[in-house]
Structure 1
């Protein structure tokens, strides 16, 4: 398990802080600018979801080292209302906020690995990983 840094998401400025943390860690690990942008976009989506739907939560970023490869793991955790229908939430174009609905399917496309664990009434934990190419 790598070293983990977390940003509490309570207001919109925290979304910016989480993006910045992600970009800095991605740079340190040697990600190129395109992948840095993908990672910060994914973090932005996850942090915004926490802010919009759960009110508060946290984004944690961890450096990964596996079989000589470096990577980054983003974990978004909240104690919000949870996601009633994960399959529906993962459909392109689905949005409950009237946004573009790039949301979770977009995060999944931007990253190499994606997992979601949610219990209605108990919050959500989303994990997304990206490996340096």
Structure 2
């Protein structure tokens, strides 16, 4: 596994930087253009959530191997307010920002594995993995 790559999310420009990093890493692993788009969309959503709800955080992208499978692990972490109702934010159409509400359910659909760890008042870490087919 190569050195981890990450982007601190402090401004809207960092969302763009995280997307670009994700696309580059996905290309390097061997993902096709459709999966590259899925991965960058998921990263964009996660980074935007950090920016909107936590103010600052980090997107970390790791190339991973499990047995003979290769993939990309995206870890979005922040020390923001946390998510008070994970079930609610995982409902399609739920939005607190006036957006489309594709949000986290959309990320879960775009990726293969998805996990939320959140402590109200302390922050949130979301891990999402895409495996190479």
TM-score normalised by the shorter chain: which range applies? over 0.9
Counterpart residue number, 1:40: 40
CA distance in 1, matches of 2:49, 2:76: 9
CA distance in 1, matches of 2:129, 2:5: 15
Contact 1:59 1:77 in 2 (8 A): yes
- The residue matched to 2:51 in structure 1 has which SS? helix
- TM normalised by structure 1 equals 0.98
Structural RMSD (CA): 0.9
- Cα distance, 1:3 vs. partner? 3.1
CA distance in 2, matches of 1:3, 1:96: 36
Superposed counterparts of 1:43-122, under 5 Å: 43-122=43-122
Runs (5+) with no aligned partner, structure 1: none
- The residue matched to 2:26 in structure 1 has which SS? helix
Contact 1:2 1:65 in 2 (8 A): no
- Cα distance, 1:68 vs. partner? 1.4
- Cα distance, 1:27 vs. partner? 0.1
Q: How many equivalent residue pairs?
A: 133
- TM normalised by structure 2 equals 0.98
Contact 1:31 1:132 in 2 (8 A): yes
